[in-house]
Amino acid sequence: MATVRLAPVLRAAAGGSKQVSAQGSTLAEVLSDLFQRYPALKEQIQPDHDLSRFVNVYVNDQDVRYLQGLNTAVGANDTVILLPAMAGGERS
Amino acid sequence: MGDASREIMRRARQQVPEWSPSQVRESLAERKGAGPGDQDIVLVDVREKIEWNEGHIPGAIHVPRGYLELQIEEAVPDKNKTVVLYCAGGVRSLMAGATLQQMGYKNVISMAGGFGQWKNSGYNFVVPRTLSDAQSRRYSRHLLIPEVGEAGQFKLLDSKVLLIGAGGLGSPAAYYLAAAGVGTLGIIDADIVDDSNLQRQILHNTERIGQYKAESARETIQALNPDVNVVTYIERLDENNVARIIADYDVILDGTDNFPTRYLLNDASIIANKPVVHGSVFRFEGQLTVFKPYEGPCYRCLHPEPPPPELAPSCAEAGVLGVLPGIIGMLQATETIKLLLGIGEPLVGRLMTYDALAGEFNELRLYRDPHCPACGENAHPENLPTYAEVCAIPARS
């Protein structure tokens, strides 16, 4: 089971968890499993076939855009990080 | 002068030939064309450091008479070279000349009349750059670090850093950059100090409520370090002013609070080739990286598009632990100082993330996107969208 870490804005959609487990040998499979457990996350991260452009996905701290994208291999002890941009401040 | 010293002077005058300042000047000029390695004439200033600091002859080396015997052989190993000595008036240099002859130097000259006569003849001299006594004390802890030292402190004093925003991130960053002696801090912020700011925006205080943040920032900074020149811009960064404002600065510190400004700043900094130290915070977590145009990724490489509003709440909506922008802002100041001094490894191509509750720092690898519309192959940073409409920015007043 791979570990999936969620940026703060995404945690509400996963019952408030910062870190969850998901099964799969590629990123696509891991996300698919993730969305089965937490359907609200799918809306935010991958509503269509491709990953949303504003969410960055890292497998073992490397951006998957420079690996094999959704086909990136994910091992049992690997960590997947989902990170949208933050702006903070007084206004957004 | 007593008898013994008169005798010493008499002997020295007999043994050591003297040149006038104009003769020295001519000889130096004649050998100039031969190049530094071929100079067979060396000019040695034997005065005290305080005299040297007030001005000396260009090209001279400094071997104070107190250390003459101990240092001269390392300073001038070739005893066949013509060594021209000078002091303030021409007396100490004669005595130094006699010493050098005893040590085996074959061609020793003393400049008659010394530096005083050189100056009175209207010849060129240089005044080395020095820190004032007050600065030497203020920055003494920097001067003790080999990676900083006097040279580094001069670099900081000569540097110009622009802070976009004097709020949560800008406050701690500006405070520490000012403490470090960064000579010019530009602060662009159109906002007014509000009591809800004071939970984290430590440049301001209760008495400043109602003042422009940029001006409040200037007051605080000036009180901490009068060496710092604070330039305030009470306006918002937009496509009409960004190029003009960032042009004067060496490094830009991004403390903005909205996406359109970050995209605007990104594109302008690429066009102007200015590094941007980026920080952002949310609740208990923060991020930090350095965007160095063409050396590493830019903001658009990292975030080609902004998230929809529901996924990017502001601190006003979602809250933030007050100390968190303090941490990220100070890390931004640290990266800025590293860039200014050219030391260490700035976070180019690395996104540092901090989770305050877990007490964890992590790092993600970032890459330059070869197809990035701002910094990639067929880039056109001059006309890219900043998503102002998408993020529903309130109409500018």
DSSP character string of B60-103: -EE--GGGHHHHHHHH---TTSEEEEE-SSSSHHHHHHHHHHHT
Number of structural domains in chain A: 1
Task: Round to whole Å and give the CA distance between B56 and B168.
Answer: 48
Contact A61 B364 (CB under 8 A): yes
In B, minimum Cα distance to A67 occurs at: B367
Residue of A66, A88, A90 lying closest to B280 (CB–CB): A88
- Residue A53 contacts B, CB cutoff 8 Å: yes
In B, minimum Cα distance to A79 occurs at: B364
Q: B3-120 architecture in CATH? A: 3-Layer(aba) Sandwich (3.40)
Taking CA atoms, B348 is separated from A83, B257, B367, B369, B382, in Å, by 19, 22, 9, 14, 23
B143 Rama sector, left if φ>0, alpha if ψ -120 to 50, beta otherwise: alpha
Count of residues in chain B: 397
CATH code of the domain covering residue A9: 3.10.20.30
Domain that holds residue A68: 2-84
Contact B281 A86 (CB under 8 A): yes
Amino acid B114 reads G
Interface with chain B: mutation pick from A11, A44, A86, highest number of B CBs within 10 Å: A86
User: Could you confirm whether domain B159-383 is CATH 3.40.640.10?
Assistant: no
Taking CA atoms, B50 is separated from A82, B46, B53, B55, B88, in Å, by 61, 12, 5, 9, 12
B contacts of A65 (beta carbons < 8 Å): 367, 369
Question: Is residue B278 within 8 Å of B299, Cβ to Cβ?
Answer: yes
pLDDT for position B397: 33
**Partner B, chain A 11-40, Cβ-Cβ below 8 Å:** none
Q: Is residue A91 part of a domain?
A: no
Along the 397 residues of chain B, how does pLDDT read in single tens digits? 799 999 999 999 999 999 999 999 999 988 765 555 556 899 999 999 999 999 999 999 999 999 999 999 999 999 999 999 999 999 999 999 999 999 999 999 999 999 999 999 999 999 989 999 999 999 999 999 989 999 999 999 999 999 999 999 999 999 999 999 999 999 999 999 999 999 999 999 999 999 999 999 999 999 999 999 999 999 999 999 999 999 999 999 998 888 899 999 999 999 999 999 999 988 888 999 999 999 999 999 988 888 777 766 666 667 888 999 999 999 999 999 999 999 999 999 999 999 998 899 999 989 899 999 999 998 999 989 888 766 544 433 3
Q: How far is B232 from chain A (nearest CA, A)?
A: 20
Question: Is residue B191 within 8 Å of A90, Cβ to Cβ?
Answer: yes
Q: Is residue A89 part of a domain?
A: no
Residue of B304, B314, B353 lying closest to A90 (CB–CB): B314
- Between A90 and B59, name the one with better pLDDT: B59
Kindly state the tokens that stand for B395. Answer: 């109409």
Question: Is residue B242 within 8 Å of B268, Cβ to Cβ?
Answer: yes
Question: Is residue B286 within 8 Å of B353, Cβ to Cβ?
Answer: yes
Predicted confidence (pLDDT) per residue in B155-194, tens digit = 999 999 999 999 999 999 999 999 999 999 999 999 999 9
Q: Is residue A92 part of a domain?
A: no
